[in-house]
Amino acid sequence: MKSKNIGILTKPKFPEVKPTLQGVVTWLRERNITVLLDTTSAALLSESGGIQKTQLAGTADVLLVLGGDGTILNAARLAAERSIPILGVNMGGLGFLTEVRLDNLYPSLERVFANDYVIDERLMLQTHVHRHGETVARGIMLNDIVISKGTLARMIELRIAIQGQFVTNLRADGLIVSTPTGSTAYSLSAGGPIINPAVQSLILTPISPHTLTHRPLIVPGNVEIDVTLTSKDDGAMATLDGQVGIAMTQGDTAVVRASENRTKLIRFPESHYYEVLREKLKWGDG
C-alpha cells in the first residue's frame, strides 16, 4: 500500500486502547507515515491537534479502527462517501467485522504495507424519512435500520411496500431491514437467517410480530423498501446501525435501499467467512 495517511479511530472505553494507540502511533511515525487522530484519540495521547471524525474520513487513505464492531460501524458510515479501506483491530468481545487480533497487530500492519491483503466489499443501506412529502432525515448504514416502538408496551403498526407493491401491514414491536453483514447482528437475535455477505440481498425481520406467520423475508439487493408508520405511537424511532436515532411520527415513511457506496474491509487471504462464523457463534468443530 502506497498510503501515507492513516486515520485512527478508537473506542476509549477498552482499557488496552491507550497503550495500544501509543504503540501504534509511534510505530507508524517511525516509518514516516502520517497519522491522523480524531479528537478522542488525540486526547487519549494528550496531544493537541486532533480533528473531527468527519474530517478524518475526508483526509485519510486508510482507517485503522481500535475497538469493536460498533466502532467499525461508525467508521463505515464515516468512510462511506470516499469508500476508503478499513482495518479493524478487535478490542471488544464478539467482533464479526474486526479482522485483526490485538496480539497480531504489527505483523498485520506490515502485511498491509506489503500489499498482502484483499478488500472485502460490503453492501450498505441508505434511507431517507419522508414526512408530508418532505425529507426530514437521511442516513447510511452497514448493518441495519430498525423501526421500533417507543417506551410504551403496545405494538406499532407498519405498512410495508417493496418496489411500490404492497406487502403487508405488520403489527409488531418493530422491523429490522438488514444487509447480509447485519444478518449476524440484531436480525439474528430476532430470528433472522444468516446471509453470506457475498449474496446481494436485503432482509426484513419482524421483531416479535403479533401474527406468527410474519417471518423474515429475503429480497433482492436492488429493491426499494417503503416502511410507513401507520399507528399513532409517541416515541417510535428509526435507528441506524444501533447508533443514530431518527424520531418517527404517524404517517412517516422510511424509504430504504442499497447505497451506491460500499464498505471496504481489509482482509487477509487466509481468513474465511465460515471460520469466523464457526468461531464467533461457537459452532462445533466437526
* Residues marked as catalytic: 69
**CB 175, CB 210: distance < 8 Å:** no
For 93, the grid coordinates are: 468481545
194 residue type, one letter: I
Q: Is 53 helix (H, G, I), strand (E, B) or coil?
A: helix
Q: How many CB atoms lie within 10 A of CB 253?
A: 19
Looking up cell 411500490, which residue turns up? 164
Q: List Cβ neighbours of 190 (8 Å cut-off, separation of 6 or more).
A: 176, 205, 206, 207, 208, 216
Sign of the Cα pseudo-torsion (57, 61, 67, 72, in order): positive
23 residue type, one letter: G
Instruction: Please state the φ and ψ torsions of residue 54, each to the nearest 5 degrees.
Output: -65, -40
Q: Which whole-number Å values give the CA distances from 259 to 127, 227, 256, in the listed order?
A: 9, 17, 9
Q: Is 187 helix (H, G, I), strand (E, B) or coil?
A: helix
Query: ∠132-248-245 over CA atoms, to 5°?
Result: 130
